[in-house]
Structure 1
Amino acid sequence: MFKNYLKIALRNIQRNAIYSVINITGLAIGIACTILILLWVYDEVSYDRFHTNYREIHQAWIHGYYDGTINSFTSVPQPLSEAIKHADSHVKFTTLCDWGGEHLLTVGENSIMKQGHYVGPNFLEMFKFPLVKGDARQVLDDQSSIVLTESAAKALFGDKDPINQIIRVDNASELKVSGILKDVPKNSSFEFDCLMPWAYYKQYAGWIKETENSWQEFSFQVFAELDPGTDVASVNEHVRDLIKNNIKEDNMRRDVFLYPMSRWRLYSSFKAGQEEGGMIDYVQSFAAVAIFILIIACINFMNLSTARSERRAREVGVRKSVGSRRKELIGQFLGESLLISGISLVLAIVIVEVVLPFYNQLVEKNLQLDFTSPFLWIFVTGLAATTGLLSGSYPAFYLSSFQPATVLKGKLNTGKGASLPRKVLVTLQFGFSILLIIGTLVIHQQIQHIKGRDLGYDQERLVTIESTADLDKNYRSLKGELLSTGLATSVTKSQSPITSIWSNNFVDWPGKPADQRVLFSTMRTEYDYTKTMGMKLLEGRDFSEDFKSDTAAVLVNKAAIDVMGLKEPIGTELTIWGQKYTLIGIVDDVLMGNVFREISPMFVVLRPDASNFVTVRLSKNKPIMEAMKEVEAIVKKYNPAYPFDYAFADVEFNKKFSTINLISDLSNVFAVLAIFVTCLGLFGLAAFTAEQRTKEIGIRKVLGASMGGIVVLISKDFSRLILIAFCIAAPLAWWFMDWFLQRYPYRISVPLWILPVAGIVALVFALLIVASQAIKAARANPARSLRSE
């Protein structure tokens, strides 16, 4: 029986080649899209899961009560690590960690820049990064040790055994290789090529030693591992008041809590002290898109199968009359559907393998199909079976329901009642497509809205170079030579690049309510900061070497003045870090931090010794890359040990849009594919409709109907369905996108013009496809279709 069913299925596919190709292609594209999206989704939800104890690992967070709300952040003081360890007996390990950065690693004449972290001795006992060589319990005990990844060790030592070899780090100290790690997986919250002991950090950086016991310096990360099965809520009760109990004179409330690693990637967005989502929103949205596209492809199969029911009706009648039972017919039709689904799956896997390199470039990941994984085969087999059963279920039950006496007399009902399910499915298809079109347009508008913000500074020809000990020592000479050669019009130093805020502090001002706490973004700079950045001075003056007192002076932005409400701000004394600073100038608001949020109040102080970056405003006398070659020669002259590395402000600024650009690109790609699959099905349905109405069209032509009239006749039913789909999908899409935009404090409202544009786009695509088939039918010679009448 199975062999018989298989033969019938193959013959049916061959006999109806055009419709079979449409079905298989549509299903293949739908399955391929689903696989691609779910590969991305799986990578996101599997972040950090390679740590066997990821459920026990937590990060110390703080709920800070200021700015009239609860602000959640991960910057904590050093002593919190030991305090958490002793606060609850279920805390197994705690470790300190810095925020990571580039480090110069030198072996002989070989120098490379690699990403690294300073970490506590328990770091590798807590985080299960696999060690190829060395003992996780000991490799970070010695303060003169360093742990490398395999790729970093290969780059430095080649095939030579790196253990116990000496590396010069940051052209300052020599550390001995104590361990080798496997390269860190891409789906890890940590990205690094080397790890160095916290004890070395204290020795190397004086400010680390100075703040070792300070509860006021919120500049570090702390991680904790709990015993398996520990109730984290109970531990949080014990750690909540650790900061409050150690900063007696501070009246600001700060609650400590441990946040589990299992939620870092997807849920670590907080609002007013509560989780409000994060990447999980994108994951869920694209999982829904995958389901939409697969359903659209399945609907194509259902529509074409049921539309061609008249062709299969006599087959059903004959089979029933010779004794076939309904369940056997259902089995046959489901078998045909599963066969087509299986063929589509094979084609889909081929499509995925072909497009994966381009897809990986788009999503900036290294996704792949692991054909050795049993999970992959279970998944794709289940996907094919689900698709086959979903797409074939309705046709199977519909076709098997025909009564033999009726169909063998030629009285099968193929009128309006029979076509109603197809109309519902077509409406559903276009509803999904319209929803995706609207979503894509809204995301594009939001991106353009953000990119169109007034930055408050000039990005053109602005270049940032990370400072080193040599550059700090030779800064004056470097600046003088860059200016005297005409390569630069201005040079300055700053704590962070113009595109970032690395520090925040509280400020007191005359008349400030005692219970008001406002966090100000902080920028420590050198002279010529506002000039180099192209910032507009609204009132007062800039820092100047003519005023020796400027080390106790401060600039603020317009947002700070709005917060403080000072009527005559120039000359006002502000209290920062417990010291008095005189307000000498007001600058325009500058967009440095999160581009999706309102600009926060900021102050700028003159602190050349705390500046980490040199920023150069290139002159317009030479092409940029030609000028950069000459800048490199000058920088190398004063900083010979380090490779020349730089960043353009506009390029760094655009990186802030990486996530939303990714979402936009994915939306564009899958919206186009969804529309394509929908139109593919519509093409088949329109072709069949035109074929079914061949005699009607012939009679109308004989009676004088024009080609335009025939096209309108065939097109109007489909147009009506698309209008219904628009009326249903547009309000849903508006509601969903309005909810989506709520995550961005600086956002657009959903433009109403987008709704009709999406409907028109869908309608135009549909009409072009339907009209092409209608024109083909209208051009046919009526004598052929009416020959037997």
Structure 2
Amino acid sequence: MLKNFLKITLRNLFKNKLYSAINILGLSIGIVCSILIWLWVTDELSFDKFLPKYKRLSQVWVHATFDGKINTWQSIPLPTYEAMKTAHSSVVNSVVTGWGGERLLTVEDTRLIKPGYYVSEEFLEMFEYPLIVGDPAVVLDDPYSIVISQSLAQTLFQNESPLGKVIRFEDQVNLNVTGILKDVPGNSSFEFDFLVPWKQREMLSEWVVRNKTNWGNYSFQVFVELDDESKKKEVDQVISTMLAENGEDDMPRELFLHPLERWRLHSNFINGVTKEGRNDHVRLFSVIAIFILVIACINFMNLATARSERRAREVGIRKSLGSTRKYLILQFIGESLIISIISFTLAILMAELVLPAYNNLVDKQLFIDYLSYDFWLIGFGMILLTGILSGSYPAFYLSSFRPVETLKGTIKVGKGATSPRKVLVVIQFGFSILLLVSTVVIFRQIELVKDRDLGYDQSNLISVDYSDELAENYDLLKTQLLQSGAVEAVTRSNSRITSINSNNFLSWPGKPDNLKVIFTTISTEYDYTKTMGIKVLHGRDFSKEFTTDTSSIVINKAALELIGLEDPIGTTLDLWGEKRQLIGVVDDVIMGSPYQAVKPMFMIVNPDWINAITVRLKNNGALNQNLKTVEAIFDKYNPAYPFDYQFADVEFQRKFDTINMTQRLATIFSFLAIFITGLGLFGLASFTAEQRTKEIGIRKVLGASIVSLIALMSKDFSKLVLIGFLISTPFTWYLLDQYLERYPIRVDVQFWVFPVVGLIALVFSLLIVGNQAGRVARANPARSLRDE
């Protein structure tokens, strides 16, 4: 029986090579898209789940109500670290960390800049990143210890045992290797190659020590471990008043726990509630995967029902010989499942071929784990889903034929199945139009943001991380850079032009007592606007010629509009209880998210609060030579550090990584969806043309032109595309409008996009249908009519 079943299935596949190839290729592409999207979605959903205490770990965040809304952030006062330990009986432990960053590690002649964190001694006990060597309870107890990753240990010490070896840290202190970590997986929220004790940071930074009892400086990260994740709400209630109890009562502020399991996908807060974030992208691509798979399945159903007339006699003979309807249904669904198995196998091969390029596109290291139970479970489910979904309707439809009618040849099942086929084609084109319009709108959103006036000149602008040696030699460094002929201007500041490292409150004359506004804060010295290419709108920038500039302040245009001063220069502003004279107003600069409006900003002079040096290279066509000149000068005054720089334009483009990835993937999958739809349409049009061969022959004999015949056969398909367009348009507009709500700076979903995309879909379908119709219309009518 099984042998007979397989023989019939294979016979039908080879007998109808074209339609079999269309079905298998369409399903294969649909399954490939689903596999690739599934790999990406699975990776996103897997973040941090390898940590044993995944559900019991949280970060302490802040809700603060001001400026008419609830503002949320993750930087909190340092005393929270110790206070959390005794805040509630369910709090097992707490840990404080720095924000991570690139640090210099030196072993003899080897100098490396690697990412790492300052962490308190509880870190490895709480997060339990696996150690190859060392006890997590003690490896970070000694201030002069360091824990490094396995790959870093191999790089620094080759095959020697790294334990007890000395690493020079930031050219400031020698640290002893006390532990070796397994390399941190790519699906970790923390990415690091080394850990240094928080106690060492206290020894290196007097500022940190000063803030151990300061509840007013929100500059630190604190994490907690609970004994039971269900106790989170109880802990939230207890810690919510902690800031107010310690003097932070100038506005409503609440501490709360943000669980580790929500960090990756749910860390975007709007008015105190998690909204959007990466979870939207997970949902978006999951839906796209479903759409594409459904489109591929529709192809199979359409072609199977269209070809049903040719199998009607087979059904009649089988029924007359005693086959039951149940057996016939199993036969047809079995054939569909075999096609699904073949398609799935081919899809795996195709997925392996495109994975390297796909990984480069999504910036991940995804792979198909053939030993994974989940993979085979999903694969088996996909085969069943596509097989049963694709084969169910044809199976039930074909098995319903009456043997007498089919054997007499009086049934015309191909025409009887046209209504369901039309519905399926409408659905296909509806999905395809939705994906194409989405691609166009997302592209326009990207272009809108990229075309915004940045407020500064990115060209030939590089930044270099600050160090103690650079601080000591800054004046000499700056002088020699300007004299080198390779540099136009130099400045230093607390953050690069492409990022915001600090926000503070500012008071001005006439400010309402209940109004609190966060200002972006830039600590700099001289030549900031000159170096960055920022336009000074009123007054002047800081200058060495004015000794009072250390107590002056410069604001941006957005701040001026907020403050509402008609004649701002000379106004006295209040910052941290100190009076500062306003000396200048500069143009707005996009430093943070390019999707947000520019925030109010102020600049002050503070040479002790510096994190980066920015250099504008001369635009003389000798970029590489200028970089070599600058490198030689930095090596002279900062010899312990390798010359590591970042171009401002490159750093800025990284802000678009997520939406660029979304747009590229949406484009690729949209065109694949159209391609699959086109395959199905090609097969359906080819079959329809074959069915109407004699009709076309008669019309041609009676004088019909080839153009009129092509138009006749294309008319029905054109109607289906137009119906799909009309149904899809309002649904697509609503979904895109909801998606774009996350962006304060956004495009409108303009009406013209829909008819343009609809016209493209129509032309695409007409080319396919017209090609098949033309083939039949050009044929010699004598051949089609010779049997009449």
So what's the TM-score if we normalise by structure 2? 0.99
C-alpha distance in 1, partners of 2:633/2:530? 22
Task: Give the secondary-structure state (helix, strand or coil) at the position aligned to 2:256.
Answer: strand
Between 32-41 and 406-415, report the one with greater CA deviation.
406-415
- CA-based RMSD of the aligned residues comes to 0.9
Gaps (5+ residues) in structure 1?
Answer: none
Say if 1:341 and 1:387, in contact at 8 Å, map to a contact too.
yes
C-alpha distance in 1, partners of 2:708/2:656? 50
Q: Which amino acid aligns with 1:515?
A: N
Q: Which amino acid aligns with 1:556?
A: I
Q: Which amino acid aligns with 2:309?
A: E
Say if 1:526 and 1:611, in contact at 8 Å, map to a contact too.
no
In structure 1, the partner of 2:296 is 297
* 1:468-479 to 2 correspondences below 5 Å: 468-479=467-478
Question: How big is the shift at 1:568?
Answer: 2.0
- Residues 591-620 of structure 1 deviation map (CA, whole Å, 9 limit, x = unaligned): 101111110000000112211111111112
C-alpha distance in 2, partners of 1:637/1:753? 59
In structure 2, the partner of 1:685 is 684
C-alpha distance in 1, partners of 2:445/2:545? 46
Task: Give the secondary-structure state (helix, strand or coil) at the position aligned to 2:608.
Answer: helix
In structure 1, the partner of 2:343 is 344
C-alpha distance in 2, partners of 1:627/1:756? 51
Question: How big is the shift at 1:277?
Answer: 2.5
Say if 1:105 and 1:168, in contact at 8 Å, map to a contact too.
yes
* 1:51-200 to 2 correspondences below 5 Å: 51-200=51-200
Question: How big is the shift at 1:529?
Answer: 0.2
In structure 2, the partner of 1:745 is 744
Q: Does 1:246 align with 2:242?
A: no
In structure 1, the partner of 2:383 is 384
In structure 2, the partner of 1:481 is 480
Q: Which amino acid aligns with 2:407?
A: L
* 1:483-632 to 2 correspondences below 5 Å: 483-632=482-631
C-alpha distance in 2, partners of 1:622/1:476? 27
C-alpha distance in 2, partners of 1:541/1:112? 41
* 1:391-430 to 2 correspondences below 5 Å: 391-414=390-413, 417-430=416-429
Between 626-635 and 444-453, report the one with greater CA deviation.
626-635
- Residues 494-553 of structure 1 deviation map (CA, whole Å, 9 limit, x = unaligned): 110001110000001111111111110000001000111010100011111111010000
Q: Which amino acid aligns with 1:750?
A: V
C-alpha distance in 2, partners of 1:591/1:403? 72
In structure 2, the partner of 1:734 is 733
* 1:2-81 to 2 correspondences below 5 Å: 2-81=2-81
C-alpha distance in 1, partners of 2:280/2:478? 47
C-alpha distance in 1, partners of 2:624/2:732? 46
Task: Give the secondary-structure state (helix, strand or coil) at the position aligned to 1:523.
Answer: strand
C-alpha distance in 2, partners of 1:323/1:53? 62
C-alpha distance in 2, partners of 1:165/1:337? 64
C-alpha distance in 2, partners of 1:61/1:760? 50
In structure 1, the partner of 2:214 is 214
Question: How big is the shift at 1:416?
Answer: 5.0
Task: Give the secondary-structure state (helix, strand or coil) at the position aligned to 2:538.
Answer: strand
Say if 2:573 and 2:580, in contact at 8 Å, map to a contact too.
yes
Say if 1:492 and 1:525, in contact at 8 Å, map to a contact too.
yes
C-alpha distance in 1, partners of 2:787/2:663? 56
- Residues 322-354 of structure 1 deviation map (CA, whole Å, 9 limit, x = unaligned): 111000000000000000000001000000000
Task: Give the secondary-structure state (helix, strand or coil) at the position aligned to 2:367.
Answer: coil
* 1:255-266 to 2 correspondences below 5 Å: 255-266=254-265
Number of residue equivalences: 788
In structure 2, the partner of 1:318 is 317
Say if 1:236 and 1:257, in contact at 8 Å, map to a contact too.
yes
Q: Which amino acid aligns with 2:181?
A: L
In structure 2, the partner of 1:355 is 354
C-alpha distance in 2, partners of 1:264/1:761? 41
Task: Give the secondary-structure state (helix, strand or coil) at the position aligned to 1:673.
Answer: helix
Question: How big is the shift at 1:701?
Answer: 1.1
C-alpha distance in 2, partners of 1:657/1:778? 51
Q: Does 1:278 align with 2:271?
A: no
Say if 1:57 and 1:226, in contact at 8 Å, map to a contact too.
yes
Report the identity percentage: 55
In structure 1, the partner of 2:237 is 237
In structure 2, the partner of 1:269 is 268
C-alpha distance in 2, partners of 1:627/1:701? 75
C-alpha distance in 2, partners of 1:286/1:415? 36
C-alpha distance in 2, partners of 1:522/1:38? 42
Between 602-611 and 720-729, report the one with greater CA deviation.
602-611
Task: Give the secondary-structure state (helix, strand or coil) at the position aligned to 2:103.
Answer: strand
Say if 1:90 and 1:230, in contact at 8 Å, map to a contact too.
no
- Residues 274-303 of structure 1 deviation map (CA, whole Å, 9 limit, x = unaligned): 111211111011100000000000000000
Q: Does 1:772 align with 2:775?
A: no
Say if 1:575 and 1:581, in contact at 8 Å, map to a contact too.
yes
Say if 2:239 and 2:256, in contact at 8 Å, map to a contact too.
yes
Say if 1:7 and 1:417 are closer, same or farther in 2 by CA, change over 3 A. closer
Question: How big is the shift at 1:415?
Answer: 6.3
Q: Which amino acid aligns with 2:278?
A: M
Task: Give the secondary-structure state (helix, strand or coil) at the position aligned to 2:179.
Answer: strand
C-alpha distance in 2, partners of 1:593/1:732? 33
Question: How big is the shift at 1:757?
Answer: 1.2
* 1:715-726 to 2 correspondences below 5 Å: 715-726=714-725
C-alpha distance in 1, partners of 2:594/2:460? 21
Question: How big is the shift at 1:397?
Answer: 0.4
C-alpha distance in 2, partners of 1:52/1:390? 39
Task: Give the secondary-structure state (helix, strand or coil) at the position aligned to 1:266.
Answer: coil
Question: How big is the shift at 1:468?
Answer: 1.1
Q: Which amino acid aligns with 2:413?
A: T
C-alpha distance in 1, partners of 2:415/2:398? 17
Say if 2:77 and 2:219, in contact at 8 Å, map to a contact too.
yes
- Residues 441-466 of structure 1 deviation map (CA, whole Å, 9 limit, x = unaligned): 00000000000101111111111111
Between 305-314 and 563-572, report the one with greater CA deviation.
563-572
C-alpha distance in 2, partners of 1:620/1:505? 36
Say if 2:102 and 2:116, in contact at 8 Å, map to a contact too.
yes
C-alpha distance in 2, partners of 1:142/1:690? 82
Q: Does 1:467 align with 2:466?
A: yes
- Residues 61-101 of structure 1 deviation map (CA, whole Å, 9 limit, x = unaligned): 10011122101100101111111221100001100011101
Say if 1:267 and 1:280, in contact at 8 Å, map to a contact too.
yes
C-alpha distance in 2, partners of 1:629/1:767? 59
- Residues 246-266 of structure 1 deviation map (CA, whole Å, 9 limit, x = unaligned): 125x41111000011111111
Say if 2:307 and 2:414, in contact at 8 Å, map to a contact too.
no
Task: Give the secondary-structure state (helix, strand or coil) at the position aligned to 2:265.
Answer: helix
Q: Which amino acid aligns with 1:265?
A: R
Question: How big is the shift at 1:417?
Answer: 4.2
